[in-house]
Amino acid sequence: MHSIRVLIADDQPLIRSGLRMTFDQVPDIAVVGEAADGGEAVREVRRLRPDVVLMDINMPAMDGLTATREIAAMGGAPTKVIILTIYDQDEHIFEALRSGASGFILKHAPIDRLTDAVRHAAEGDALLSPSVTRRLIDEFSRRPVASASPVPVLDQLTERERDVFRLLVRGYSNEQIATTLMLGDSTIKSHVQHLYQKLGVRDRVQVVIYAYENGLVVRSPQ
């Protein structure tokens, strides 16, 4: 069985040690390296090519946001980044997601949440709680639209892909989309992957950002 290869980036040795001990109990996840700052994390990603990085934000030398941007810009097989945070109200979460992170996880989350986060990210999905998804959508819908001109790539989407796109932007999970459109889970997964390819994005978080930055949706009235 292929193990998901994980790099832990945190400036606190106790946090790194605790996470490593946690994942040592999980047969399909292997910690392949550690980093004490963002610069070291970037170097280790280039050297080890892990599937997922668990990234703290506040680190010396290079912070986690800068490191996330550099990792997201790397060529080759993409390494997914999950932000480690103490509180889900962290003011940097939105910027981290824009920088290329696939989601976030609380540092003291239960083992099953940690392992689910890593598995979701490795599969190319994003891990966000419904409350954070709503805040993300609200945050971007408040900002000035970067571009209101037509987006040619949308012409490449099929009618069903447009349906899936609209539901993704509203924060629906694959299961919710399948129920709403009365389609099978595998069919929805296929549509979602096609959307990622056509829009040139990595995950559903980036779909939300893409939609709002291109003026494709507006926030619904309260």
Of the two residues 176 and 36, the one the predictor is more confident about is 36
Residue 48 has pLDDT above 80, yes or no: yes
In the block, which residue shows the tokens 């689910």? 116
- Across residues 69-96, what is the average pLDDT? 79
Token readout for 222 is: 């309260």
- Reported as a pLDDT band with limits 50, 70 and 90, residue 30 is very high
- Across residues 190-212, what is the average pLDDT? 81
- Across residues 138-160, what is the average pLDDT? 66
Of the two residues 161 and 106, the one the predictor is more confident about is 161
DSSP, res 152? G
Token readout for 51 is: 């599937």
Burial (CB < 10 A; 0-12, 13-18, 19+), residue 2, is: exposed
Q: What is the mean pLDDT of the chain?
A: 82
Domains and CATH numbers, the chain: 4-127 (3.40.50.2300), 139-213 (1.10.10.10)
pLDDT of 89: 60
pLDDT of 78: 81
Beta strands in the chain (DSSP E): 4-9, 29-35, 52-56, 80-85, 103-106
Token readout for 220 is: 């619904």
pLDDT of 220: 44
Of the two residues 33 and 139, the one the predictor is more confident about is 33
pLDDT of 23: 92
Other Cβ atoms less than 10 A from the Cβ of 143: the count is 9
pLDDT of 152: 63
Give, in order, the Cα–Cα distances in Å from 144 to each of 135, 149, 219: 16, 14, 12
Q: Which of 1-5, 43-47, 102-106 tops mean pLDDT?
A: 43-47
Query: Please, what is the Cα angle at 192 between 191 and 194, to 5 degrees?
Result: 65
Q: What is the pLDDT of residues 163-197, one digit of tens each?
A: 998 888 777 778 889 999 999 988 998 998 888 88
In the block, which residue shows the tokens 């109200």? 89
